[in-house]
Structure 1
Amino acid sequence: MPGTGLPSEAADERSAVESTAADETQTDPSELVGDDLAIGYPTTDEPVVECERVLLPAGEVTALVGPNGSGKSTLLKTMADQLQPEAGRILLDGDRIQSFGSKELARELGLLSQENESPGTITVEDLVYHGRYPHRGFFESVTDADQAAVDRAIDLAGVDHLRESEMTNLSGGQKQLAWIAMVLAQETDVLLLDEPTTFLDLHHQLRVLSVVRTLNREAGVTVGIVLHDIGQAARFADNLIAMQDGSLYDWGPPKEVVTEQLLADVFRVDATVDGESPTGPHIAPHSAIEE
C-alpha cells in the first residue's frame, strides 16, 4: 500500500482495531425531558411557562419556535438547569438534572445562551479553549484531545481566520460564531442553542444550521435550538415545539406541525404552506393578521 509503510494485512488489522476502539467509545444518544413544568421568575406572580411534557428525543434536532414572549428561551434555560422550575422536573437520560455536579453536567450538556460576555482582550482561540474546562482538572494542562477538539470546533464554526483576533475587535456576527465554536469544543451529548443565528447574515445562518445538522448526524448529538425563522426550523429540524403564551401549541415533525392554521394562530400571519416541498414545509407569507 503506497504511502502507508505497512503491508496490506497489517494496515487492515490496524484499521479494524481503530474501528473497534471507536465503536467502544461511542455512547447512546441522550434524551432530555421536562415533566409537569411550571416556570417563573422572581418578578412574576404567576408561571410564565406551563407544560405537562416537553421532549428532546435522543439523537434528534428539535427546534423551539413561536413569537417573542412565548416562553421559548425560558423553557430552554430550564432544560439546561439555568433556571429552577417552580414545579416539575427535568430528566437527562432518566436522572434528575439537579443530581449532576456542575462539571459532570457540563460534560453532558452544553448551552449557548443569548447573553454572552467575555473580556475584550481574550482571543477567539482562548475563548474556545474555555469550552474544554469540564474535561480538565484545575491544574491539568492542555492535552492533545483538547487541542484537537478546539481545532475542530474552530473549523466547524468557520472562524479559523479569526483565531488570533481579540473579541473586542469582532463584529456582532463574528462574536456569535466564536461563542458557537466554544460550545462546540465542549463536545457534549446534548447541545442547547438559544437563537444562535442572531446577528448573522443569511450565509452564516445557514452555515450554523448546517454545522448543527452535521454534529447531529455524525456524532449523534441531541439538539434543542430556539429559532425565530420557522421556515429554517422546518427545514433543519426533525421536530418542532411550537409555543404560544407560555404553553405548547403543538409538537411533532415539521410536516405535521407547520400548517396554515398554526401560522394564523401562533404567528398571526396569513400564509400558504407547501407541505410537499422536498426540503421541508415551504411557507409563503401573505400578510399580517390584525389583532
Structure 2
Amino acid sequence: MHELNGRVAVVTGAGSGIGRALALRLADEGMDLALGDVQREALAETGELAGTRGVRVVSRVVDVGEEHEVEAFAEQVYADLGAVHLLCNNAGVFMGGRVWTRPAADFEWALRVNLWGLLHGARAFVPRMLDQGHEGHIVNTCSVAGLFVGPGSAPYTVSKWAAFAATLSLAQELAMQNAKIRVSALCPGGVTTRIHESERVRPAGLRSEPGDDSIFMNEMIRATVENGIPPEEVAGQVVDAVRAGRFLVLTHPAYAGGLPEQAEALVAGRLPGMPDFEWRG
C-alpha cells in the first residue's frame, strides 16, 4: 500500500511508546487516525499531538482484551471516518517469570492483551476492510520474543509466540483469498518505551504478587529498554514495510542472523540457545 495520504489508520496502544510514535508518524503521512488505549489521559495527549498535524482524529478508551469494546471501537471508527486502510494492533504488556513459578493470572493477563487483543482487532476490523474492497494493510506488534525464546519471561514469550502464529495465519489466509490486504509482523527488540512499567495498566482482577524471578526479569527489560532504539525509528520502519508489503519487520539487523541459527538447531533436534544479541538490545 504505497499511498497513505488521505487514508485512515487505526492504532491501539496509542497512548505511549511505539503506539504514539506510529500515530504521529502516520499523521505526518497525512492519514486520518482512530486511536485506542486503556489509558485515558495518555490517549488524549496523543490525540492532541496528532491533531496538530491537520488530520482527523477519533479517540476511544479501549481495553483490547474485551471483545465488545473492540467491536464498539470498530463501529465508531466506521461511523466517524468511513473506512480503515491500515490497522495497527499494537497494544501490549510485559510480564516476566518462570513457567512453573508464576500464577495463572500472569499468563492470563499477557495472553489477554498480547494475543486476544490481536484476535479481537482482526475479528472486528478485517471483515469490514474486506467489504471495502480497497487495498489495505495490517501490522501486528509481536516481538522479537515471538521468534526467540529466552528464559525467565514465560508469560510474555508464550503470548508473543502465539501473537506471531496468529499473524502468520492471518497473512496466509488473506493471501489464499487473493485479498488486497497485506500483513506485517512487527518484531521489536529493545525500544525506549515504558513496557517495563506494564503493571500500571494491569486489571485489578488479574493482579499477582511479584516474585524474585519476575522482579529480576523486569530489571533486565528496563535495562534493555534504556539502551534501545527510539520508537520513532520503529514507526519509520513500519511505514517502509507497509509501502513495501513486507511481512517480517525486525527492528534490529542483528536479529536476522539468529533465525538460521535457530532453524539449524531445531532441524538437528537441539535445544536452541538464547541469542546473546538479545541481551545487548
TM-score > 0.5, shorter chain as reference: no
TM class, shorter-chain normalised? 0.3 to 0.5
More helix by share: 2
TM-score calculated relative to the size of structure 1: 0.34
CA radius of gyration, larger in = 1
Which one has more relative contact order, counting CA pairs under 8 Å at least 6 apart? 1
More strand by share: 1
TM-score calculated relative to the size of structure 2: 0.34
